[in-house]
Structure 1
């Protein structure tokens, strides 16, 4: 895209990072996107100051159109992000950021748009039939990160689809074995209510790790989530390895629950964490837990489960949503 005028700024604002990318729409409807500029949300007090930093880093004019994927319920004129302190006044973005056209949506609704638009070679098969994603019916989209993102899309043919955002990460955590019973018990001692994202998220690995240590009566260092993930993925810490395996089990259980609730014909795992542990997921008990639904086990075995490998599905999906809202004749 260098040397070409950009049509849009796509933003993916999560609990930890805010990503910005310049986007251009081709005449055939395809979407081209520059490498993103990634900022830490903790380094900025608001979207406005982060936007100023983005503008300072761009060589050339910044488009007066933006698509924002936000990690929170994108309803009403003020969006308070679920896992960071920013409050975004969507009705004032044109004035605050100097924009003419804006599209605002939930971050996992954006990922669902990416699932609808990404080519088949950007999906990695995890379990179930090795078939392409269906062109008709519902597809669940699930992604562990700073929290747990959940959305789904309904397809009717190759071109027509509808995305439904949700706050599915905040449903109750449902234990399946005695270890998850112990995880829930530890969390209940500190929280009135335990949502599934307290376990099935990047930070949730801390709860799993500490519970395993307590069950084995082991004294362990007070580690943060990044350290546990790193030790476990490098196989430097057996307890961290076991925690990652139990994380994969819990993700499998939750993914199967969402598929049942959505009436899905397929499931897609998304997000940076999912991508980083993709090989671990394939060799873990994820697939067994996904299918472990009693009388519906045979039905679950017929659902393809894939992982989207697009490097920035939130940004790509935000651009796709803007295109449908502002540029499509059938939007």
Structure 2
């Protein structure tokens, strides 16, 4: 069956055609990206995508949405669109629809993705297990947490969670200082305050305060560029600390979920995929006291698929509308 799969974010919306069959995704076409601000609604962006193809659009659509998908009205902070799930079929002229949260889509992608889209970080270099729980931790604008439970016969179940909002747990004197500083600013300090795109800026500002010297202030994206390029020593130190904290949080999530493997996903996970193995991530991931030996036996991968939202939404459609 041919469908359109859509990934709706705060700034961009991505479209692709897909073929789903037998509960899986047979193929995913090239993506087309639009700025959401260029269109007044999803319906108009849908029409523009159809014009790029030059032929009628299919009657099935899968949508990944960067936010909660429960309720009568869906709205993103930086997105001008208002989406009413009950009216999407009529607005787009489709007969079948699947609408899921963006991190649920990541979970479906992890369940379907081929080995070349997984970068090994630490633990035994083995494929993801065919049975058991795969924990997923995704630093991006926030900190996404989900898991995939693989079962006999190739079936699986995805659960997205709010695990990114667990308490941040400092593990050394510097992190005690980080937790104290963030507590003064935010009251409660969640893991997301440190392990996310904006979290790097929080770490950077605290390290700058410790130096006592004036330093350049960055927007979030500028700071990530400087840290990854090695252009600012304090930005690099903040990135080192970020990798340590990501390892600690990922290990905690794996323990809490009973994970048999871990996948690091999200936009920041994609950026760091080839750096985490040489950072402090593996040490902190495994440093769980009496469970260190157990943690060292868990395969940890990074998801490097270029369009996890599109693939995951299509996979969810394939399962929901399996004939």
Question: What's the TM-score once normalised by structure 2's chain length?
Answer: 0.91
SS at match of 1:279: coil
- Which residues of structure 2 form unaligned runs of 5+? none
SS at match of 2:105: helix
Q: Which moved more, 1:136-145 or 1:197-206?
A: 197-206
Match of 1:59 in 2: 54
Match of 1:146 in 2: 141
- Which residues of structure 1 form unaligned runs of 5+? 1-5
- Post-superposition offset of 1:36: 1.3
C-alpha change, 1:96 and 1:192, in structure 2 (3 Å) is farther
C-alpha change, 1:102 and 1:167, in structure 2 (3 Å) is same
Kept in 1, the 8 Å contact 2:123–2:300? The answer is yes
- 1:102 equivalent to 2:97? Answer yes
- Post-superposition offset of 1:203: 2.0
- 1:253 equivalent to 2:270? Answer no
Kept in 2, the 8 Å contact 1:31–1:319? The answer is no
Match of 1:291 in 2: 286
Match of 1:20 in 2: 15
Equivalent pairs, count: 323
Kept in 2, the 8 Å contact 1:31–1:320? The answer is no
Kept in 2, the 8 Å contact 1:71–1:82? The answer is no
One of 33, 37, 56 as aligned partner of 2:32: 37
C-alpha change, 1:191 and 1:53, in structure 2 (3 Å) is farther
C-alpha change, 1:27 and 1:217, in structure 2 (3 Å) is same
Match of 1:3 in 2: none
Kept in 1, the 8 Å contact 2:139–2:268? The answer is yes
- Post-superposition offset of 1:25: 2.9
C-alpha change, 1:322 and 1:281, in structure 2 (3 Å) is same
Kept in 2, the 8 Å contact 1:16–1:146? The answer is no
Aligned equivalents of 1:209, 1:92: Cα separation in 2: 44
Aligned equivalents of 2:80, 2:193: Cα separation in 1: 18
- 1:213 equivalent to 2:221? Answer no
Aligned equivalents of 1:129, 1:302: Cα separation in 2: 6
Question: What's the TM-score once normalised by structure 1's chain length?
Answer: 0.89
Kept in 2, the 8 Å contact 1:145–1:273? The answer is yes
C-alpha change, 1:76 and 1:119, in structure 2 (3 Å) is same
Structure showing greater relative contact order (alpha-carbon pairs closer than 8 Å, 6 or more residues apart): 2
Aligned equivalents of 2:79, 2:164: Cα separation in 1: 16
- Post-superposition offset of 1:277: 1.6
